Every structure is written in C-alpha cells, then in structure tokens.
Amino acid sequence: MFPTMTQPPDASPDPQSPSRGLGIPGLVVASEVRRNRKRGVSYWWKVFRLWPRSARWAAYVALGLVLLLLVVAVTGVVVVRRPLPEYAGELELPGLSAPVDVLRDDNGIPQLYADSLDDLLMAQGFVHAQERFFEMDVRRHVTSGRLSELFGEDTVETDRVIRTMGWRRVAERELAVVEPQTRQALEAYAAGVNAYLESRTPSQLAVEYTLLEVGGLDYTPEPWTPVDSLAWLKAMAWDLKGNMDDEIGRVLTGVDHTPAEVAQLYPAYDFEASPPIVSSGAVVDGVFDQAATGGTRNPERPPPAFAQAGDAFARVQAALDAVPTLVGRGDGIGSNSWVVGAERSATGAPLLANDPHLGISLPGIWMQMGLHCRTVSEDCPMQVAGFTFSGVPGVIIGHNADIAWGFTNLNPDVTDLFLEKVRDDEWRYDRQWQPMEVRTETIEVRGGDDVEVRVRSTDHGPVLSDVISDLATVGANAAGAKDDYAVSLAWTALQPTTTADAILALNIATDWDSFRAAASDFAVPSQNMVYADREGHIGYQSPGLIPIRQSGNDGSVPVKGWRPENDWTDEVVPFEALPHVLDPDEGFVVAANQAVIDADYPYYLTDDWDRGYRSTRIRERLEADPSVSVAEMGAIQNDSVNPMARTLVPYLLDVDGLPNRYYRDGQDLLRSWDFRQPASGEGSAAAAYYNAVWRALLRLTFHDELRESLWPEGGQRWFAAVTGLLRDPGATWWDDVTTDDVVETRDDVLLQAMEDARDELTRQLALDADDWTWGDLHRLDLRTSTLGESGIGFVEWLVNREGYEVGGGNAVVDATAWDAAEGYEVDSSPSMRMVVDLGDLDASRWISMTGVSGHPASGHYVDQTDLWVEGDTLPWPFTQEAVDEAASDTLTLTRATDEEDSSGG
C-alpha cells in the first residue's frame, strides 16, 4: 500500500485539515485541486519530489507498467490493422492499360469500372487480394495437399487425402482444356493478385502471417497462378459431390442389419408429397422436350448387394473425415432457389431468389462485387454483379444487365466407390491381374520430417483406403475370399473439365440461348440453374457431367471393381437430354435440391434426392400468393416452419404417462405451437422443446444399433425415415438392444424422449419453460478453420466471432442446420441471400453471412452478420447512377509510372 502523501509546502500544516491528502500518491482533495489546478508541471514535480523514495519507485513501476501496456496495446493495434487495404486515393497497378475505379459503399462492397476486360479482371484479382489473400493462400494449400507446410503435423492426414485424389494435378491438366479467352482471364486475374503481393510484406498482407511468424514460421507467399484458381473449383465440387456418404452408410448399416431395415433408413423419394423441379417433358431422339410425354422408364436394376466389406469402407470414411471443413463435407448441404414469372410478380417483372447452403466459415465463402466495363462492347462485354469466390475471376452467382441466375445442388450421383481385389501393386479385373498406376509424393511438414505419400490408382480411380497409414489394407472378410481388398473412387471431377469457361460465359450471357450455351460447359459440380431475364422469361436448366453406368451398377452402393459390368461407360448424359424448362405454365420454378424429374426419365441421375421438405414449403407459399414482391421473396427465405414438427407433434400430444406437471410443461407448449422456429419471441420456447425431443428421440432410437459415424445428424433423410417408423410402433429400430428383458416400442421412446428433453432444457436453459428460447440453444459460432482452432485464447478471440442466436433449423427453408449427434450449434446455413428484381435491378437485395473483408480488424469482417441473423438484406445498386450514389470511397488503380515513361506516356 502506498504511504500517505506528504503535503505540498504551502498546504495547511494541520493534520486534521480537510485539505489533507487522501492517502494515495498523486491525489489531493477536490478543494486543493481547485486551488492548484492552474499551477504548472514544475509545481507538481516539486510535490512528487517530496514523496518518500519508496513511494516514488512504486510510482515509477506503476507508470512503467502502464506505459508498457499502452505500448503493447498500440503495437497490437498497429500490427492487426497494418494489413487493412486502402479504400481511397490512387494506387499503382502495374500492367494496366488504363485506370480502373473501385467504388465501395458503406459495407465496403466494391464495384469496379474499367475500359478493357483484362484491366477489369486484373483489378478484381488485386481487390480480392486486398481483402482476402490469406484465405486464398490457405485454400490453394488445401487443394494442393500442402497445408502441413503452414500448420505442421496436425494436417498431414488432410494432405494425404487431397494428394491421393490429386486435385492440383487435375487442375494443371484443366488449364490446357479451357478456352484461350478463359486462360487469358485467369492470367489477368493472377497478375492483379501478384501485383498486390509484390507491393506488401507478409505482415502487410494479413495479421495471420504475423501470428504464424511469431509461432516460428518463416514464410513468404509464392505468386498466384491460374492453376490456383482452377484447383479451388475442385474443392467446391467436393463439397457438392453427391451421395458418397449414403453409399458408405448403406454398406456399414448393412453389415449387421437386414436389407429391409436398411431401406427404412434410406426411404425412397415421395413424388406425390414433393413435386420434382420439372413436372413435364421427355427425351425424344436424344433431346429433352418439355412438351413431350412418355419416355423410356429406367431399366430395372438388381437389388443392392452389400459387399461384406465393413472394415474397408469404415477406413474410407476415416479418410474422408480428414478433409477439412474449409472445403466442406457434402453432408446435408443444400440450397434454395426459385424464380417467379412476371404474371405472378408484384413488380410486373420476374423475380429470382437464391440462398446457397454451405458449411460455416469465417470469412464467409462469398465476396460481393460488381464488375463493369465502362463501355460494353465485344472487347469488353462485362456488366455484372453478384457473389464471387476470392481466388476465381468473374461472378459465380448474380445478374448482369440482361439476365439473372442462381444455383442449387443438383446432387446427381457422380461418385462411385469400387471394392477392388488387390495384391501388392496389382488389382484384379475380369479374371486378370492388372498393374496399378503408382506415384510417390512428398509432403513438407512445418517443424517435422517430410512425409512420403504413395498413391495407387486402378482404372476406376485413386485408392482411398490407402490414405490413412494404419488402414492400408482390408482382410479376407471383404468378400469371403483370401485376397486383400482396397476401395477406389470414381468421380467426374477427377478429369479436366470446362467449368471455368462456363463462369465467364454466364457473366456475359444475354438471353436463354446464350445462358444454356454457358450452362453446357458447367461440368462439376452439377447444379440446378434457375434463370430469369429482363424480357420476362423464366427457366431452369440441369447441367453437368453425369456418368452413364452399365447394368450391374445402380449407383446406390459400392460395387465389385473386378466385374466389368459394374464399370461406367465412356459416355455421360448428353447435355441436350438433361431436363430444362422455359416459361412453365404454373408461372414459377422452385429448385431446392428435390428430385429434378420423375422416375420415367430414361437416364439415371440419382435416387438420393433431398426429400423435398424445403421445396414443398416454398411452393406452398408461392401458390398462396398470386403477386409476390421483393420483400415477400425475402420473407420466404426466412421461413422457419419445421416440416417434421407437423408430423411428429400430434404423436407427442398423444403421449400419456408424463408423471407430473414438471414434465407436462413442455408438452403444453406444443399445443398451440405453429411449428415456426424463431430465435426468440412467440413460439421459440416450443421450438426449443421440440428440437430437444427430436434430438433425444434420435439418440434413443438409433445410437444403440448404429456405429458412431452413422449416428443421425437429424436432417431431411431422418425426417423421412422417422416418419415411416412412426407409422410402425413395433418396428425393430424402436427397441433398445442394450436392454435384455424389455422390448421398447415407439410410445416408450416418445415418452422417454419428452422426459429427457425436459431435463436437458432445465439444465441448459431454465426451470421455467416459458423462459426457454430456441436461440439460446441454436447458436451460430463463426470460427476460422485455421488459427480459429489454434487453442490460443488471444488468437481465437482475435479471429473468431461467436454467440449469434438464430432461428431456423434442419430441412427448414431458413436452413440453419445442426447435427443432432453433436449438439444444437449451427454447422451449415444460408451462406448468402439474394433477390433480383428484373424490372428494376437497383431494387434488388443481397446479404452475405459475414462481410467482404477477411481481415479481423476490418469494420467489414462481420458487418453483415447481424443483419443476416435478423433476416434483413442490403440494397444492391447496379446502375452507374445508383453505384455512385451509394459510394462512400473511391480508389483509382493506375498504370505504374515507369510503364508510362517506357511507353512515352
């Protein structure tokens, strides 16, 4: 404790004087302060000199600590803010032929204006690097299997998986396949990225590089290349790859369950309950005709024969689980899109809505941007705005001056797993042993020894069961023989494709025909594409490389690779035969991952469609409103009605036997519930209770009989499975196999689930049921997939943003999905929302889940998140006048001075 302050020379000598010091050095009573406030520093220095030496040293130490903390804080702020980009003034961009203007609005969303396409895409690369380069750099390390160079041993298994599939190798071959103008665009974009890199040190590019350097990483990012851009498209194809998890799940479930029991967990699509996207049409002479009837039914396929290879496929699942969430897992990922024709629009022009559902990431996967040629011409044809991928030139989803488009996952079966007989580096095919293709790659590991990866491939594809080092072979239980077994992957994305051509062609399409021409190049991932134009037309197109299998392979389960009848043919479904529709009679198109077309369609697309709960709800709302506005389109995107609740709640209300008022409180909440799931407010307590019951029901019904990797996540497939089981109260799945003397039925499980849910919410939320809210349970935590999982408190605090309370849920239109096996936290969601008004493009609306910036210190890191959580959107200016009015900053990118000098300028 500091000693009492010695009084200044002219202070009252009376120790009882009210002017006496307060006992804390440097402080005096108010009257003394008033009397001496005008005295100078020298006076107070004299006062300080009269203190005892010990008091002065204590003050020195305290002052030193304060100054040290201040220096640390200031230094920290400087370091964190150093990478923030310049938004105004002028910057040189070597290689430009003329200046480019970058106008940003209050949310930092950039709109770029240039005189040539090369300049425009070069500037796009520069601006992407300004805001998102660390994200871009991490992505290219992911797609090339080089994460361990940055993050050490923890990511070696991830690198092994990616190296085995060879994403980077495919992208290198793809560069030679795309059109020359696409290569030119990729090169211009890369030049812009590299110009930014050359102007800054790593610490000026991103604070993450500074943090990695503090951790001992000596690293300078290498130049960006066109292949880096193409490789990221492979990651997106992986996230939307189709039914591989269902294939593995059927096998693993079938190891100890009958085919009938397996079928109960993978119920067939109900075309009556959920109409397909395209409701009419047939393939005639190899061309799909939306007005035709009839067609050729799919040939009957043999019933699935589950290979007795549970160990093999469990090992493949372990390998797939090593792929980072940054590139997605493909589990339950869907999207909403729909388009309304002029006759059903309040604006008198088509309206188009889209909200792709992807895994949670920070920064969000999308960056909003406008790309404008000042004078649109054949040489500079781009006038487009929408959502971009940092690292890829052009706009992925959005609109130009003539058309708008949106994507949802078509989810065709473009992957197959082949069980292979192997010995050493040979594989069995048609009674003969064939040599495998073998290559060796080296993974550099930060802070550790290099790791060699030996990759083997059959004619079907890379051997995934080799990936995890202690899971390299499969024993003779695989098929009842003495051979060893492996599992290979066939996937359409493992061949060079032209998707990059399609992106740029979409950006400059002007009508239905040019839109379809662009779509014909969209190879992987296969997407449902909705369309609208300013002439009043709406439409839908299925694109993508979809394999045609031979008769022995129905795509639903892995097959024996040694049998030729299981192979893919050399052909894919012809683009002209893929379903499409222009101006349908009902006046709208809904594409939300449901079946594309009915079972009479002659080509096999998949049997593992999303069961259509979201699409059916969207249709309900559109059918109920003959004149939809932009605001009402947005309201549909935020619809939180739980479709499974409509089915399950009547059963819950019929449950008898809840022992007392404490347990009946939750049941009473359901009596007046309208099945909506808001984060708070009316109905939120009921939503919290219902979802706790749903989670408990899934645990009680399935955890005892399924291996942990197959525990229900609670999405649309489980809605359909449980719906079927509810109609069969004595189904074997209801019984708990761990209780020897009791056979549980449906009603036993429902009763126990309701009691368990009540107890859980009492523990987690409150004793009083009226105090429960769904948002208290259902939270959105935005965490970066790299440093955000570092375990270092300060670093995680810096880069993560957590605790957003959200509504919605699994298979709900507001699709904030959660994994019932893990908890209630959001694990995938609408990554953005947009509504385009083709009558007045400036009246369109958009929102990103996070913000345009990847810098944690930026005001635009998560500045759109609160609006997104509330279901709000931002104005989307497009015309020059609207962009100018919204602009708060203008940055002009100019040619470098030495270029002007060397050209005589």
CB atoms within 10 A of CB 203: 15
Q: Token pair of 413, please?
A: 């079966």
pLDDT at 60: 57
Tokens 């549909």 locate to 636
pLDDT at 714: 96
Q: Is residue 550 part of a domain?
A: no
CA distance 547 to 416: 10
| Upstream peptide bond of 525 is cis (omega within 30 degrees of 0) | yes
Q: Which residues contact 263 (CB under 8 A, 6 or more apart)?
A: none
pLDDT at 46: 58
For 164-193, b/e burial (b = at least 16 CB within 10 A) is bbbbbbbbbebbebbeeebbebbbbbbbbb
The string of DSSP codes covering 742-796 is ----HHHHHHHHHHHHHHHHHHHT-SSGGG--HHHHSEEEE--SSGGGSS-HHHH
Q: For all residues of the chain together, what is the average pLDDT?
A: 87
Cα torsion angle, 2, 8, 9, 14, sign: negative
Q: Is 212 in a helix, a strand, or coil?
A: helix
pLDDT at 345: 97
Beta strand 801-805 with 779-782 is antiparallel
Amino acid at 306: F
Q: Is residue 740 part of a domain?
A: yes
Which residue, among 609, 495, 603, has the nearest Cα to 549 in the 3D structure? Answer: 603
Q: Token pair of 320, please?
A: 């797939």
The string of DSSP codes covering 700-750 is HHHTTTS-GGGS---SHHHHHHHHHHHT-TT-GGGS-TT-SS----HHHHH
Q: Is residue 349 part of a domain?
A: no
Of the two residues 182 and 232, the one the predictor is more confident about is: 182
Amino acid at 45: W
pLDDT at 50: 65
Q: Is residue 814 part of a domain?
A: no
Q: Which residues contact 450 (CB under 8 A, 6 or more apart)?
A: 442, 443, 444
Q: Say how many domains are in the chain.
A: 1
Q: Poorest-confidence range of 179-188, 219-228, 561-570, 717-726?
A: 561-570
Q: Is residue 714 part of a domain?
A: yes
Residue 8 DSSP one-character state: P
Cα distances (Å, whole numbers) of residue 463 to 67, 88, 356, 758: 60, 52, 31, 47
State mean pLDDT over 214-237: 92
Residues of the chain above pLDDT 90, percent = 72
Tell me: the pLDDT tens digits for 395-419? 999 999 999 999 999 888 898 889 8
**Residue 120 near residue 112 (C-beta atoms within 8 A):** yes
CA distance 894 to 690: 59
Q: Is residue 664 part of a domain?
A: yes
Beta strand 889-894 with 351-359 is unpaired
Q: Is residue 551 part of a domain?
A: no
pLDDT at 248: 81
* pLDDT range class, residue 611, cuts 50, 70, 90: very high
End-to-end CA distance of the chain: 72
Half-sphere exposure of 860 (CA within 13 A, CB side): 21
pLDDT at position 32 over 60: no
pLDDT at 27: 34
pLDDT at 66: 66
Cα three-residue angle 176-177-182, rounded to 5 degrees:
85
Amino acid at 636: I
Q: Is residue 744 part of a domain?
A: yes
* pLDDT range class, residue 40, cuts 50, 70, 90: low
pLDDT at position 865 over 70: yes
The string of DSSP codes covering 506-535 is HHH--SHHHHHHHHTT--SS-EEEEEEETT
pLDDT at position 181 over 70: yes
Amino acid at 466: D
Cα three-residue angle 329-331-336, rounded to 5 degrees:
110
Q: What CATH number corresponds to the domain at position 771?
A: 1.10.1400.10
* pLDDT range class, residue 466, cuts 50, 70, 90: confident
Cα three-residue angle 492-498-502, rounded to 5 degrees:
120
CA distance 903 to 905: 5
State mean pLDDT over 110-137: 98
CA distance 623 to 638: 17
Domain housing 761? 643-675+678-777
Residue 326 DSSP one-character state: G
* 308: phi then psi, degrees, rounded to nearest 5: -80, 75
